[in-house]
A = this chain, B = another copy of it.
């Protein structure tokens, strides 16, 4: 698979697709992490960062859903597949959407952390 990774065009990105992709807590966390790492992260790095016991196949599926929803773009770098958020395109297509969702997620995370998840 040298490259046929399916990335939708900006115009084909849908709200429902984005919401569905981000409706999963793990995927929401993935996108949140990706935003902190501008260089992008591959599955292995992501699994490590999230500190969850996630099988490779599951991470791959999550990435695929995020990719097909148009949220991330994946690029092969040697053996690895580095992904990052399609920030500019998303902002152009649906201004403020991703920002609001991630902001809300951070709020939520912050509140949760205060009760014993010091990390």
Report which A residues bind B (CB closer than 8 A). 14-16, 18-20, 22-25, 28, 94-97, 99-101, 103-105, 107-108
User: Are A28 and B24 closer than 8 Å at their CB atoms?
Assistant: no
Partner of A97 from B20, B94, B101 at Cβ < 8 Å: B101
Distance, CA A16 to CA B107, complexed state (A)? 12
A19 to B20, CA, bound (A): 7
Which residue from chain B places its CB closest to the CB of A104 in the assembled complex?
B94
Tell me the number of copies of this protein.
2
Whole-angstrom distance between the alpha carbons of A35 and B101 in the complex?
19
22 residue pairs of the A-B complex, CB under 8 angstroms, read: A14-B108, A15-B28, A15-B101, A15-B104, A15-B105, A15-B108, A16-B22, A16-B23, A16-B25, A18-B104, A19-B22, A19-B23, A20-B23, A94-B103, A95-B103, A96-B100, A96-B103, A97-B100, A97-B101, A97-B104, A99-B100, A100-B100
A94 to B16, CA, bound (A): 19
* Residues of chain B within 8 A of A19, CB atoms compared: 19-20, 22-23, 28, 101
Residues from chain B with a CB closer than 8 A to the CB of A96 are 96, 100, 103
